Structure 1
C-alpha cells in the first residue's frame, strides 16, 4: 500500500492506536536507512554506515546498509530484528516530522499496517498526547536536531575533501557477481594527513569521532555476508575497494535508493 503521510490532529485522530507488536513488515524491503551523526557510534557496531549523493541536489546523505539487494533487508528474519541496534529512522515509523506551515509538525502514515483497533493509544481520553506519543515526539525531535548536525558534519567532510568513492564486489554462493557503486566513505589517509589545527577543530566539534565511527563501520560488511545465510541468495564473500583502488572499467553504478 502506498505510504501517505498526513498531519497528526488530536481531534481527527483522537482514537488512533498503533500496534507495537509487529514483524517489521514496513522495513523488510528497505536495503538502506537514513543515519544521523547522533547514532553513528551505535550503528557502527552492527552495520555499515556510508554516504550517498542525491543526483538532483548533489548533496550527500549518510545511510546504513541493510542489504546488498534493493528490496531486501538482511537485518529482518522471521519478523525479528537481528541485532541490538535499530536505526532511529526505522524506529520512528509510522511517524515523521515534516514542515507544517512555518513550523515542524508530527505526521503519520495513514495507510500504515501498524494502525490497529487494539494498539497503543496515541492520545489520552482528554485529548492530550499519550506517554507513547510523547516518547515518539522526543525521538522525532532528536532526529530533527541530529539531522542538522549531520548536515554540518557532511559539509565539513566535503570542505576538507575527506570523502572517497567506494565499491563493493559481491560474490553470491550461486555464482552470480555484481558491483555496487555510488557510495562514499571517509578517506582514512586524508584524515590522517590533516593539520593539527584541522584535527583539533574536528575534535572540538565532535566530528572526529564521527569520522572514525564511519570508517570502523565498514568492518560490519562481513555481518551482511553472515545475515545473507538466512536468505535464498546467500553471499559467499564481499570485497571492498576504496578510492584509487576502484576499477576504471566498472559497470554502471548501482546506487542505493533512499528508503
Structure 2
C-alpha cells in the first residue's frame, strides 16, 4: 500500500491509535534505510553504511544497507527483525518529521497498517499529546537534529573529494553472480593524503571518527553473507571493488566469505 503522510492534527486524529505490537513487518522489503551520524557507531556494528546519490539533484545521503536487492531485507527473517541494531528511520515509522510551512512538523502515514483503532492513543481526552506521542516527538526531534549535522558531514566529505563508487560482486551459492552498483564509499587512500590542517579540522568537528566508522562498517558485508544462509538465495561471497575515479586502476578489497562452519 502506498504511503500517505499527512500533518498530525489533534482534531482530525484525536481518536487515532498506533499499534506497538508488531515485528516490523512493514520493513521486510526495505533494502536501504537513511542513517544519521548519531547512530553510525551502532549501525556499523551490524550493517554496512554507504552513500547514495539522488537523481537528478546529485546530492548524497548516508544509508544503512539492509539488503543487496530491491524489496529484500536481510535483517528481517522469520517474520521478525533479526539484527541487533535497527536504524532510527525504521524505528520512527509510521511517523516522520517534514517541512510544514516555515517550520518542521510531525507527519503520520494514514495508510500504515500500524494506524487504526487499536494500540497507543496519540492524544488525551483533553486534546494534549499522550505520553506515547511525546516519546515519538522526542525521537523525531533527535532524528531531525542529527540529520542537519549529517548533511554538514556529507557536504564536507563531498567537498574534499573523498567519495568513490563502490561495486559489489555478489557470488551466490547457486553459481549465479551479479554486480551491485549505485552506492558510494570513502576512499581511505585519499583520507590518508589529507593535510594535517584538514585532518585536525575533521577531528574537531567529529567528522573524522564518522569517516572511519563508515569505512569500517563495510566489514558487515560478512554478516550479510551469513544472514543470507537462511534465505532462498544464499550468498557464497561478496567481492568489493572501489572504483577510484582519481586513479587509473581500481582498488580491490578482500572478499567477504562464508565461514566453513556455516
Same fold (TM over 0.5): yes
1:159-198 equivalence runs, <5 A: 159-198=159-198
TM-score, structure 2 length as denominator? 0.91
SS in 1 for 2:83: coil
Partner of 2:242: 242
Question: Which contiguous aligned blocks of 4+ residues in structure 1 show a shift greater than 2 angstroms?
Answer: 243-247
Q: Is the 8 A contact 2:163 2:185 kept in 1?
A: yes
Conserved in 1, the CA contact under 8 Å of 2:50 and 2:65?
yes
CA distance in 1, matches of 2:203, 2:105: 33
- Unaligned 5+ runs, structure 2: 252-262
Q: CA deviation at 1:179?
A: 0.4
Report the equivalent of 1:251: none
Matched, 1:213 2:213: yes
Q: Is the 8 A contact 2:163 2:184 kept in 1?
A: yes
Partner of 1:74: 74
Checking the alignment, whether the CA contact within 8 Å between 2:76 and 2:83 is kept in structure 1 is: no
Task: Tell me how far apart the structure 1 counterparts of residues 5 and 159 of structure 2 sit (CA, whole Å).
Answer: 35
Q: How does 1:216-227 map to 2 (within 5 A)?
A: 216-227=216-227
Question: How many angstroms apart in 2 are the aligned matches of 1:144 and 1:189?
Answer: 32
Q: Equivalents in 2 of 1:144, 1:118: separation in Å?
A: 28
Using CA pairs below 8 Å that are at least 6 residues apart, which structure has the higher relative contact order? 1
Aligned partner of residue 124 in structure 2, secondary structure: coil
SS of residue matched to 2:6: strand
Asked if the contact 1:167–1:246 (Cα under 8 Å) also holds between the matched residues in 2, the reply is no
Contact 2:25 2:80 in 1 (8 A): no
**Deviation per residue, 1:106-146 (Å, 9 max, x gap):** 11000100013220111122211111111111111111111
Paired with 2:225 and 2:65, the residues of 1 have a C-alpha distance of: 12
Structure 1 residue 23: Cα displacement = 2.2
CA deviations over 1:80-127 (Å, ceiling 9, x no partner): 211221101111100011111111111100010001322011112221
Q: Provide the TM-score with structure 1 as the length reference.
A: 0.92
Report what 2:129 is aligned to: 129
Post-superposition offset of 1:162: 0.9
Corresponding residue pairs, total = 247
Give the structure 2 partner of residue 10 of structure 1. Answer: 10
Q: Distance in 1 between matches of 2:56 and 2:144?
A: 22
Gaps of at least 5 residues in structure 1 are 248-259
Q: Look up the SS of the partner of 1:126 in the other structure.
A: coil
Q: Distance in 2 between matches of 1:116 and 1:63?
A: 30
